[in-house]
Amino acid sequence: MDKTGVLFVCLGNICRSPLAEGIFLDMIQKRGLADRFEVDSCGTGGWHSGEPADPRSVAIGRKHGLELRHTARHFNPRLDPGRYPWIIAMDRSNVRNLIAAGASAGQIRLIRSFDPALTGKQERELEVPDPYEWADEGFEIVYQMLAAACTGLVEVLVDELES
């Protein structure tokens, strides 16, 4: 059985994308579908490569029952587009950087485009802001955005698996 590849992407791969990866993994594990997916995250910038997730992302994940075991990495334009047909970006800047690096625009989606409550919203309204410079409560806001979006993403991908 082929696995469906899902790659979450943000700027440095220490705040948003590892949190999205953890939320998504938790959701598919709870549905008994973890063996049907290959899931990872990366950044469009490589300056945090090899580092763990930001301690604030780890803390907010733990608060919600997630264990973020993560090592940041840089997007690999030679391997990632072929391995992950679903490239899920956090903001429009990530989308532009991914396309500039060689990813196909057709396989990149903004994560909040999967949030059913945001159907019909403009693309600029579908971004997850980078909480890196924020106080700790910003990470809870980002968590809530990602959880709602991942719920929708799981539904879309489960529908695809069943069709």
Q: Are 161 and 4 within 8 A, CB to CB?
A: yes
Strands (E), 11-141: 37-43, 86-89, 108-110
Instruction: Assign residue 108 the CATH number of its domain.
Output: 3.40.50.2300
% residues pLDDT > 70 (the chain): 99
Q: Are 114 and 153 within 8 A, CB to CB?
A: yes
Could you list the residue range(s) of the whole structural domain that residue 48 is in? 4-162
Q: Is 42 a catalytic residue?
A: no
Q: How far, in Å, CA of 14 to CA of 27, rounded?
A: 20
What's the chain's length in residues? 163
Number of C-beta neighbours around residue 154 at 10 A: 20
Residues in contact with 129: Cβ distance below 8 Å, sequence separation at least 6, in sequence order: 91, 138, 142
Structure confidence at residue 152 as a pLDDT band (50, 70, 90): very high
User: Active site residue: 16, 56, 109, 112, which one?
Assistant: 16
Number of domains within the chain: 1
Summarised one tens digit per residue, pLDDT across range 79-98 is 999 999 999 999 999 999 99
User: Active site residue: 26, 54, 115, 130, which one?
Assistant: 130
Q: Is 10 a catalytic residue?
A: yes
Q: Is 124 a catalytic residue?
A: no
Summarised one tens digit per residue, pLDDT across range 99-148 is 999 999 999 999 999 999 999 999 999 999 999 887 778 999 999 999 99
User: Active site residue: 10, 15, 42, 150, which one?
Assistant: 10
